[in-house]
Structure 1
Amino acid sequence: MTFFQCGSCRRAVTPTIAERSLPTFDTDDGWHRPEASPSDANGHSTDPVVRMPPGTFAVDPDPSGPPYVLDEVSGFLVESGPRGTIVLNPADGLGLEEHPDVAMRRGYCCGMDGEWGPNLVCMCGAAIATLYSDCYQVQELRLQPDTVERCP
């Protein structure tokens, strides 16, 4: 069991949580809620897909978030942000606040999409996390690895 604290002010930004493996997109095994509830007439789901169960985290070895770079093979833009982001259930962030710059809180109809990078700040003002909470995407909270410290 561990928790994470802000690298700037040393305030806890998660409760005590347990490490587990990161569920992948290739399988539903290990997902907290692998399927969304039925959509309403507007396409919204009251229970979206959620990657991590409450009280757990995983470290993602792959790049996450911006900047986006062109993949020469596929022709698509792909994430090339930091490796080692800490993936949590959205409810496991403590005392995090929306980024003061409204542009960083970009989203669509149901929440923030995180596509411009960290959209949550610690109470001290340090930008440390990205919340993915819009209805069209997998719900998760990602702590930026260079802004938080892991505590046993």
Structure 2
Amino acid sequence: MPAAVPAGKIPLTGAGMGEWSLGDVFVCAGCGGELTVPLARVALPVGARQSVGHEMLPALMEPGTYAVDPQPWGPPWRRWEDIGAEEAAARGVFAPVPALSYGLPGSVVLAPGDVRGTVLAPDRCGGGCLGLDGSDGPNLACADCGRPVATRIDDCSYWQAVRLHPAAVRRRAGPARPGADWGTVGRELRELRERGTPPVEPGGWWSPHWKAAASVALAHLLVASEGEPVALPGGLVTDVFGRALARLLPPGVPQRTLTLAGPGLPAASARDIALVPVHPQTGEVWPPAAGTPAVPLPADVWSGLAFPHDRSRLPVTGGLPRGVQRDDPLPLRPWRPFAFDRTLLLHTLARLPEVRRPWLRRIHDRVCELPWSSSLF
């Protein structure tokens, strides 16, 4: 199984970054007791709803950061058959899902190590395999007043996180500072060639963070394609998206080209589909030229595609005998083709209004019907 890489790792929260809401502390809405250390707000990691095999995974969020999930999360749940398409659409879901959360939107997501002043509720710790999965509802209570305030998730398959429940906490704002502009983001994105999340892990597995990012992006890319073939630029972009687009879109002469666009790169044309970065603090999508559809990617994944860094297998001068490769170390290579996260792809597609178009709904339904052994997943 792949070695765990934190899905929430966003290196751009370092010096000069992530300071636009520095030092927020969350307190119990009942008694005012402090529940967290001071935190800086960042964009919600794209893998917040990802599950990865039967693995014990690390924290979703970097220490000292938090994100707000705009979608409903947690129990109670209602089955699609009991809701109906009209009510689901009113809640922002436009294609069938097994069940729909009727929890509150706006849960605050942070690393478990940043929580303070809480105690575990023993009667709400069921349902997990090797840890807590949150299926019983809030399992953390305020240590001062006993009010349920949060849910901790640390079971296998899930990125570890604590979700503060929006109705149970209040934010005590810290000092606000200007966020980084796109020029600053662009300069640091280039540095991610050295310190970003690599696409392939040492064991030859594709990074689960990259899988999450690409699965969400694929949903937006299908919308932007308008159901027509898309030309790809080659390299890692084709390695990631090529097989899926060839299987899900019809054959023929491509009408659009998938192009990387963003800080430090030329502007995409109106006939392109632009792969663009998401601002690591605000979640803002890089705006391409007018009329160019945008497909968002987390900043570190976008940087890995836009500014690929690969170690040469040749010495600086001279050469090696034929058939001999350097091993200090060799570039990481995957042992199998890229595989998407079916759950995240379907979750994203179901929440895009365009999925109601017949051609895209057919793709959605095809993905639902594919066997788990499919080469796409």
Instruction: Tell me the TM-score normalized by structure 2.
Output: 0.34
Evaluate the alpha carbon distance shift between residue 12 and residue 136 of structure 1 in structure 2; reply closer, same or farther with a 3 A threshold: same
Please identify which structure carries the higher strand content.
1
Instruction: Verify the 8 A CA contact 1:107 1:134 in the aligned structure 2.
Output: no
Matching residue within 138, 145, 149 for 1:128: 149
Could you tell me which amino acid in structure 1 is paired with residue 61 of structure 2? M
The residue aligned with 1:138 is: 159
Rounded to whole Å, the distance in 2 between the matches of 1:64 and 1:9 is: 24
The residue aligned with 2:25 is: 3
Instruction: Verify the 8 A CA contact 1:70 1:77 in the aligned structure 2.
Output: yes
The residue aligned with 2:103 is: 81
> Cα distance, 1:9 vs. partner?
1.1
Rounded to whole Å, the distance in 1 between the matches of 2:148 and 2:26 is: 14
Instruction: Verify the 8 A CA contact 1:65 1:116 in the aligned structure 2.
Output: no
Name segments (4+ residues, structure 1) moved above 6 Å: none
Q: Could you say what secondary structure the match of 1:4 adopts?
A: strand
Unaligned runs of at least 5 residues, structure 2: 1-21, 85-94, 174-377
Instruction: Tell me the TM-score normalized by structure 1.
Output: 0.80
Instruction: Verify the 8 A CA contact 2:70 2:107 in the aligned structure 1.
Output: yes
Rounded to whole Å, the distance in 2 between the matches of 1:92 and 1:111 is: 19
> Are 1:151 and 2:160 matched, yes or no?
no
The residue aligned with 2:292 is: none
Evaluate the alpha carbon distance shift between residue 137 and residue 35 of structure 1 in structure 2; reply closer, same or farther with a 3 A threshold: closer
| 1:113-142 deviation per Cα after TM superposition (whole angstroms, max 9, x unaligned) | 101210110011000000011112221100
> Cα distance, 1:78 vs. partner?
2.5
> Cα distance, 1:70 vs. partner?
1.9
> Cα distance, 1:99 vs. partner?
1.2
Q: CA RMSD in A?
A: 2.3
The residue aligned with 2:36 is: 14
Instruction: Verify the 8 A CA contact 2:51 2:158 in the aligned structure 1.
Output: no
> Cα distance, 1:75 vs. partner?
4.6
Rounded to whole Å, the distance in 2 between the matches of 1:140 and 1:54 is: 11
| 1:78-126 deviation per Cα after TM superposition (whole angstroms, max 9, x unaligned) | 22201000000111110211115x2x11143421110121011001100
The residue aligned with 1:53 is: 62
Where in structure 2 are the equivalents of 1:64-75 lying within 5 Å? 64-71=73-80, 72=84, 73-75=95-97
Please identify which structure carries the higher helix content.
2
Evaluate the alpha carbon distance shift between residue 35 and residue 99 of structure 1 in structure 2; reply closer, same or farther with a 3 A threshold: closer
Could you tell me which amino acid in structure 1 is paired with residue 100 of structure 2? V
Instruction: Verify the 8 A CA contact 2:72 2:101 in the aligned structure 1.
Output: yes
Q: Could you say what secondary structure the match of 1:21 adopts?
A: coil
Matching residue within 93, 97, 101 for 2:115: 93
Could you tell me which amino acid in structure 2 is paired with residue 127 of structure 1? P
Matching residue within 51, 62, 72 for 1:63: 72
Could you tell me which amino acid in structure 1 is paired with residue 138 of structure 2? P
Evaluate the alpha carbon distance shift between residue 20 and residue 77 of structure 1 in structure 2; reply closer, same or farther with a 3 A threshold: same
The residue aligned with 1:29 is: none
Rg larger for: 2
Rounded to whole Å, the distance in 2 between the matches of 1:137 and 1:75 is: 20
> Are 1:116 and 2:136 matched, yes or no?
yes
Rounded to whole Å, the distance in 2 between the matches of 1:7 and 1:109 is: 32
